[in-house]
Amino acid sequence: MENKNIEVINLTKKFNIGFKKDQGALYRLVSFVTGKETRQETEVLKNISFYTYPGQVVALIGKNGSGKSTLLRVLAGIYKSDSGQVKTSGRVYYVSGLSNGLNLKLTMEDNIYLVGAMMGLSQKEIKEKFLQIVEFSGLKDFLYTKVYQFSSGMISRLSFSATIYFLEHLNPDVLILDEVFGASADAEFEKKSIKKMAELIKKGSTVVLASHNLEIVKRYCDLAICINKGKIVCIGPPEKVVLEYLNI
C-alpha cells in the first residue's frame, strides 16, 4: 500500500463569532461605545479524521455552512487547526471557484500573468502557456477587457483556465478544489474542466474537492465524505455517501 499523502486526525477548528442575530441595535451600540463586544466561540469542525493516497479523488459534500470550505482551507494551510493533526506531503495547491486571486481592475491578459507570477512561474513559462489558457477559457474576444466587466461565469472560466494550466506545469501532489465545478454555469466548459483535471490525476495528483454537483461526485470520485454541522456523518463509496447526504 502506498504511503498516505493526506492524514487528518481528530481535527477541530473554532471561530470566534461576534454579535448574535437576535441582539438589538441598542445592545450593539452600547457594546461598540464601551468596547466590550460579546463574542461566542463556535466549533466549525469537530474531530474530523480521514486520509488519502496518491491519485485518489475525494469529494466533500454537505449543505452550505457544514464546514467543507473551512476543512479545505485547513488542508491548504490557509487556516490553522485548534487541535488534532493535519499532515500533507508534497506540493499542495488550493483553487477556489471564486476569483482566486484575480485583480478585477486589470485586463484578462494582465490577470493571466498575475496568476502565473503568484504561482511562482517565470515570464517565459507563463508565455508558453498563455495561448492555451486563452483558447481553453473561450474568452479570446475579451483579452483586453478589464475583469470587473466580466460576469461571474466568465471570471470562473478565466480563474480556472489560468490556474489549471499553470498547475499542469507545476504538477502538484495534492490539489484542493473549493466549489470549482458548476461555478461557470456552463455544461460544456464543465466537461472540459473535468477532462483537464483527469490529466492531472493520471500524473498522480490527489484531488480533494467540495462540490454540490452530485453527479460529478458519483461519476469521478473514488471516495466521498459527507459533513454535517462540522462532523463527518458518512465516509465511503460515493453512491452510498450521496444517498446518505440526501436523507439528512
What residues does each domain of the chain span?
A: 54-246
Report the distance separating Cα 207 and Cα 213, nearest Å.
16
DSSP for 76-130, written as a single string: TTSS--SEEEEEE-S-EEEEESS-TT--TTSBHHHHHHHHHHHTT--HHHHHHHH
Alpha helices, H only, 104-206: 108-118, 123-137, 152-170, 187-202
Report the distance separating Cα 129 and Cα 114, nearest Å.
13
Give yes or no for a contact between 216 and 207, defined as CB atoms under 8 angstroms apart: no
pLDDT, one tens digit for every residue, the chain (248 residues): 568 899 999 999 999 876 554 555 655 565 656 555 566 789 999 999 999 999 899 999 999 999 999 999 999 999 999 999 999 999 998 887 656 679 999 999 999 999 999 889 999 999 999 999 999 999 999 999 999 999 988 998 898 899 889 988 888 899 998 887 655 557 788 888 888 877 877 788 899 999 888 988 998 899 999 999 999 999 999 999 999 999 98
Note the pLDDT of residue 204. Answer: 81
Give yes or no for a contact between 242 and 224, defined as CB atoms under 8 angstroms apart: yes
Paired residues of 8 in beta bridges:
50, 86
Report the distance separating Cα 180 and Cα 193, nearest Å.
9
* CB-based burial label for 177 (10 Å; 0-12, 13-18, 19+): buried
CATH superfamily, with its number, for domain 54-246: P-loop containing nucleotide triphosphate hydrolases (3.40.50.300)
